[in-house]
Amino acid sequence: MAKPDKVSAVAEIADRFRNSSATVVTQYNGLSVSQLSQLRRALGTSAKYRVAKNTLVKRAAQDVGLEGIDALFVGPTAIAFVEGEPVDAAKALRDFAKDNQALVIKGGYMDGRPLTVDEINRIADLDSREVLLAKAAGAFKAKLSQAAALFQAPAAQVARLAAALHDKQSEGSEASGEEAPAES
């Protein structure tokens, strides 16, 4: 018979798996409590970092239907349940792991498939959602400016042509000695 506290822990972990856009499995062996708190602050609101027992995590992953990540649950395991942008969480974990050798990224899970460490690092190398949106907005603005210039060009050409024709007529009438008609 399963103990109620373990059943509730499995249910909580399974719920976090369901509500997360991605998960990153890490080994935290050797990190102090203050370093773990520092990591949690670095993750901010984009992810919840939880230390968990491997057997409970395996059972929760099985309940949710996550396949191919059981091999990651060996040794001291902690999971970052990403609730926001996976890019932000991956960057925070990668940067923290660079500064603290005790944190080892083992792998993860996103969009229905397991992730390798290299894939997590590639996600961390991506620009954030805000930067990508800003780049897209800049590209749209540039294209709109080009379109406006293109639509304005024929009218500007006609205006320049009319001004040149007027100047030529003025020069021609001055050369023949006639007075140019007065403009009103």
pLDDT at site 79: 92
Average pLDDT, 10 consecutive residues per value, the chain (184 residues): 80 90 89 89 88 90 86 89 88 90 90 88 81 81 80 79 84 65 54
Helices 33-43/86-99 angle, 10° precision: 150
pLDDT at site 147: 79
pLDDT at site 1: 46
pLDDT at site 183: 55
Cα distances (Å, whole numbers) of residue 161 to 153, 154, 167, 170: 12, 10, 10, 14
Query: Where are the domains positioned within the chain?
Result: 4-126, 129-176
Determine whether domain 4-126 maps to CATH 3.40.50.170. no
